[in-house]
């Protein structure tokens, strides 16, 4: 039940707002068609790629993401993210209670630690953009994602294996899999067209190629960008291997026409006979037009346009191209499939998707006569707008077709199945059941029940070529699989074991007692992990939305707070087992919260508002003074609140726009600068972390920025910049080493020109890299240790998910 709050006065003295305190329990274009000279691209002689500036990994950049300019910003990524930090001058640091590391600290040259790496179970939590069953090996399946790379499921296994964890921070955008291709005649071959963003600040794309099913990779850099996390990422496969001659591949780009390779993807040339500024939605070979060992003669390419020619065909192996006349007006082909009887089935929409689609259809083209047949299951209307996207044709029965709607928000999306070539259709929602026993968050995310909920952003469907009853379809949050497509009831399971795509909006929190880990995630809330990282029972089911922060009182870990995209502040008095809504705001986002060391004070910084503090468990709030003016959480002008983990009632914030740390010594009531001259960061490159050391002394702070790493070793100590740390993105603490009293320090950083996760057991005097080149996860922002398990480290992977590292 909601109660009126005594916060009404704030609307007059702070900002026009409605702020109420609530108490309730909770259990928890084709203009250019002129051929141009061929452009030849060859791989880097060393087989690698040049170092490129770090950029973003999420559609909407956040402070917790690898930095990306805001939408529409074409400025290049900052040199500060990859360059050498500026000189900090000289001068001896002021000694602190725990000693200050010498200015010449270096990475530890000693014997490396051996780590085992696993994931804390959540289960997908992001957009899976494509599914590919291998046609010659039963049980071999691949998926691609928009920001988390590609995964493989091996025959006989139920676990998905990530294949791009070797990508480092500079290559983070190659985690955006714009398309995936297999060689139907060589099950070891795998290709990925990798690239995430299309604006000028995006990293150029690359072709990743593997001869061992993705265990190892070679790379060819391309002079163009691809949109693995851009509009159209859920369309058909743009990269294809010639089914008759595997050395030939074609790549349909987002906005640069068509590219071809004749040497197994090693080198690429732009196809001169194809419109050079066209965007493609799919590339398809007609295997029947040639024979084994001879280049396939007939190919089709769908065009990302709703006017003019939207489908092209070549009958000479891709040398010349001509538009296929006809087709539905005002729509673009999204996916296509040849049914083996001379018919090309296609789904259509009026936008690339996955959003803003309001019209669509399903058509079948008789390729020999160019005859078009409208086989749309249900036509969209003005009162019920949607399109069509996903498409699968049974390899054993061309009359069995399954398609999906997309963006049918008012009644929910559906899959339609036909067993008579599209003459009649059955909606599968009405005869489906869904279950996610290992991932209870899915039910909460679906409104509390999975009944009648097929999911959203359904853009791909695949039927197992070996088993017509086995089918998968994607959603914006994961993958559903059934083995009963031919039954009266189609039973779906959320088979995502091993897939982790969640994105972090805030630092990972590992307190000294109680649960070992708390997370705050984009889109799908977050979770509390007690001692079992293979269970998601601690999922924050209420509210189920993006979470902006979570914090725990270090000296009284029963007190936990979190903030949500529903503009609510949630509190727990039992270490996150149960929750109540302490406050909510209207017209602003809920920002972030910090909890004082003993849990007696809360500092809440709603996005776009002055900071607020409470000393009575959120029953009433007052405006703080001196806190820097902050914008919305994702504005690039948000300043994070941090609680001192030792001294109760002390709070801090880092004003990165001015290079200052401010402190409150009175429960957040007022703030004043205590240190200046620190790194000044641009708004759109604001990834940093200010952290207080638990079990140390008051004002023992570490500051990670893209320009380096700073340590303030207690009250009265001056900030010291740690040498040889070129960039740092997150910092945290864990159990001290044997014979040590100061906690282990963990950073995600670039030290001596090497990106990695590093540990220091001597307060930053020396550093040891604890991950290896096979475990880089597209880069790391937030990282922390565990104060109860020596050596354990929690890593917020840029490709998604929490990685748990333990000493072997």
Residues annotated as catalytic are 146, 523
Residue 471 contacts residue 485 (beta carbons within 8 Å): yes
Which phi and psi (to 5°) does residue 152 adopt?
Answer: -125, 140
Give the Cα separation of 179 and 158 in Å (integer): 23
Six token digits for residue 374: 């409208």
Give the Cα separation of 709 and 659 in Å (integer): 13
Give the Cα separation of 626 and 245 in Å (integer): 69
Per this entry, what is the length of the chain?
808
Give the Cα separation of 480 and 477 in Å (integer): 10
The CA-CA-CA angle for residues 148, 170, 807, to 5°, reads 70
Give the Cα separation of 647 and 527 in Å (integer): 27
Residues 75-88 as b or e (16 or more Cβ within 10 Å = b): eebbebbbeebeeb
DSSP 445: H
Give the Cα separation of 304 and 118 in Å (integer): 40
Give the Cα separation of 406 and 380 in Å (integer): 11
In this structure, are strands 490-493 and 432-435 parallel, antiparallel, or unpaired? parallel
In Å, how far from its chain's centre is CA 408?
24
Q: Exposure of 798 by Cβ count < 10 A (0-12 exposed, 13-18 middle, 19+ buried)? A: buried
Residue 604 contacts residue 595 (beta carbons within 8 Å): no
In sequence order, the 6+-apart residues with CB closer than 8 A to the CB of 125 are: 441, 477, 478, 500, 501, 502, 521, 523, 524, 800, 801
In this structure, are strands 780-785 and 793-797 parallel, antiparallel, or unpaired? antiparallel
CA distances from 728 to 66, 80, 520, 588, 705 (A): 12, 11, 21, 30, 5
For the chain, the 3-state helix, strand and coil shares in percent, each to the nearest 5, are 5, 35, 60
Q: Find the radius of gyration of the CA atoms of the chain.
A: 27
DSSP 325: P
- Taking the alpha carbons at both ends of the chain, their separation in whole angstroms is 50
Give the helix/strand (H/E) hosting 12.
helix 10-13
Residue 217 contacts residue 208 (beta carbons within 8 Å): yes
DSSP 154: -
Six token digits for residue 244: 């008759």
Helix/strand/coil for 443: helix
Which phi and psi (to 5°) does residue 445 adopt?
Answer: -60, -30
Handedness of CA 628, 630, 636, 642 (dihedral sign): positive
Residue 303 contacts residue 312 (beta carbons within 8 Å): yes
Reading phi first (left if > 0) and then psi (alpha if -120 to 50, else beta), residue 714 is in: left
Give the Cα separation of 336 and 340 in Å (integer): 13
Which phi and psi (to 5°) does residue 729 adopt?
Answer: -125, -25
Closest C-alpha among 425, 285, 282, 278 to residue 362: 425
């Amino acid at each position: 039940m909601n109660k009126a709050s005594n916060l009404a006065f704030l609307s007059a003295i702070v900002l026009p707002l409605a702020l109420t305190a609530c108490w309730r329990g909770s259990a928890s274009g084709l203009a250019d068609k002129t051929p141009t000279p061929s452009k030849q691209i060859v791989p880097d002689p060393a087989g690698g790629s040049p170092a490129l500036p770090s950029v973003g990994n999420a559609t909407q950049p956040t402070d917790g993401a690898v930095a990306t300019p805001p939408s529409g910003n074409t400025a290049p990524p900052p040199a500060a993210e990859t360059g050498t930090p500026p000189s900090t001058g000289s001068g001896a640091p002021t000694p602190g209670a725990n000693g200050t590391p010498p200015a010449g600290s270096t990475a530890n040259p000693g014997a490396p630690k051996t780590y085992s790496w696993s994931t804390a179970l959540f289960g997908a939590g992001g957009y899976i953009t494509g599914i590919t069953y291998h046609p010659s090996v039963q049980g071999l399946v691949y998926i691609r994602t928009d920001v988390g790379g590609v995964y493989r499921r091996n025959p006989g296994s139920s676990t998905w294996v990530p294949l791009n964890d070797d990508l480092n921070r500079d290559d983070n955008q190659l985690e955006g899999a714009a398309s995936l291709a297999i060689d139907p005649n060589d099950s070891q071959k795998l290709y990925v067209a990798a690239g995430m963003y299309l604006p000028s600040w995006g990293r150029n794309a690359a072709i990743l190629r593997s001869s061992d099913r993705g265990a190892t990779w070679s790379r060819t850099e391309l002079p163009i960008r691809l949109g693995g996390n851009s509009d159209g990422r859920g369309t058909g496969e743009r990269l294809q291997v010639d089914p008759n001659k595997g050395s030939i591949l074609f790549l349909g780009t987002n906005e640069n026409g068509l590219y071809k390779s004749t040497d197994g993807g090693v080198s690429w040339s732009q196809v001169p006979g194809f419109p050079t500024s066209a965007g493609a939605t799919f590339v398809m070979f007609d295997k029947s037009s040639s024979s084994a060992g001879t280049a396939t003669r007939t190919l089709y390419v769908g065009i990302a346009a709703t006017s003019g020619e939207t489908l092209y065909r070549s009958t000479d192996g891709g040398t010349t191209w001509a538009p296929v006349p006809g087709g539905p007006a005002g729509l673009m082909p999204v996916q296509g499939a040849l049914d083996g009887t001379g018919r090309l089935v296609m789904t259509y929409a009026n936008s690339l998707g996955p959003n803003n689609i309001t019209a669509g259809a399903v058509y079948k083209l008789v390729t020999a006569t160019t005859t078009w047949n409208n086989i749309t299951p249900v036509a969209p209307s003005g009162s019920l707008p949607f399109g069509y996207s996903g498409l699968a044709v049974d390899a054993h029965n061309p009359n069995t077709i399954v398609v999906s709607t997309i963006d049918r928000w008012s009644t929910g999306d559906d899959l339609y199945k036909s067993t008579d070539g599209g003459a009649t259709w059955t909606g599968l929602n009405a005869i489906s059941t869904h279950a996610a026993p290992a991932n209870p968050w899915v039910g909460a995310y679906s409104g509390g029940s999975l009944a009648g909920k097929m999911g959203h952003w359904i853009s791909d469907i695949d039927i197992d070529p070996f088993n017509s009853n086995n089918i998968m379809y994607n959603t914006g949050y994961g993958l559903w699989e059934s083995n009963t497509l031919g039954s009266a009831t189609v039973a779906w399971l959320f088979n995502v074991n091993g897939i982790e795509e969640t994105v972090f909006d805030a630092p990972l929190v590992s307190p000294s007692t109680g649960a070992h880990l708390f997370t705050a995630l984009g889109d799908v809330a977050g979770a509390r992990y007690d001692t079992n990282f293979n269970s998601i029972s601690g999922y924050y089911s209420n509210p189920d939305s993006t979470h902006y922060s979570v914090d725990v009182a270090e000296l009284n870990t029963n007190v936990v707070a979190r903030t949500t995209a529903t503009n609510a502040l949630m509190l727990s008095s039992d270490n996150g087992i149960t929750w109540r809504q302490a406050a909510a705001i209207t017209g602003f986002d809920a920002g972030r919260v910090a909890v004082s060391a003993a849990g007696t004070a809360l500092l809440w910084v709603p996005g776009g508002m002055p900071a607020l503090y409470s000393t009575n468990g959120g029953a009433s709030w007052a405006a703080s003074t001196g806190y820097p003016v902050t914008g919305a959480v994702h504005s690039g002008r948000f300043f994070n609140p941090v609680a001192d983990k030792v001294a109760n009632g002390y709070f801090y914030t880092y004003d990165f726009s001015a290079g200052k740390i401010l402190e409150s010594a009175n429960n957040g009531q007022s703030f004043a600068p205590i240190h200046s001259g620190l790194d000044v960061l641009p708004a759109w490159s604001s990834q940093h972390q200010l952290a207080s050391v638990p079990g140390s002394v008051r004002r023992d702070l570490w500051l990670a920025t893209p320009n380096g790493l700073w340590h303030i070793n207690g009250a009265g100590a001056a900030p010291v910049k740690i040498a040889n740390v070129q960039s740092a993105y997150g910092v945290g603490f864990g159990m001290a080493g044997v014979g040590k009293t100061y906690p282990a320090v963990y950073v995600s950083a670039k030290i001596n020109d090497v990106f990695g996760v590093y540990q220091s057991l001597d307060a930053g005097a020396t550093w040891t890299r604890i991950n290896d080149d096979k475990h880089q996860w597209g880069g790391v922002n937030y990282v922390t240790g565990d104060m109860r398990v020596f050596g354990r480290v929690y890593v917020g992977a840029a490709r998604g998910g929490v990685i748990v590292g333990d000493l072997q």
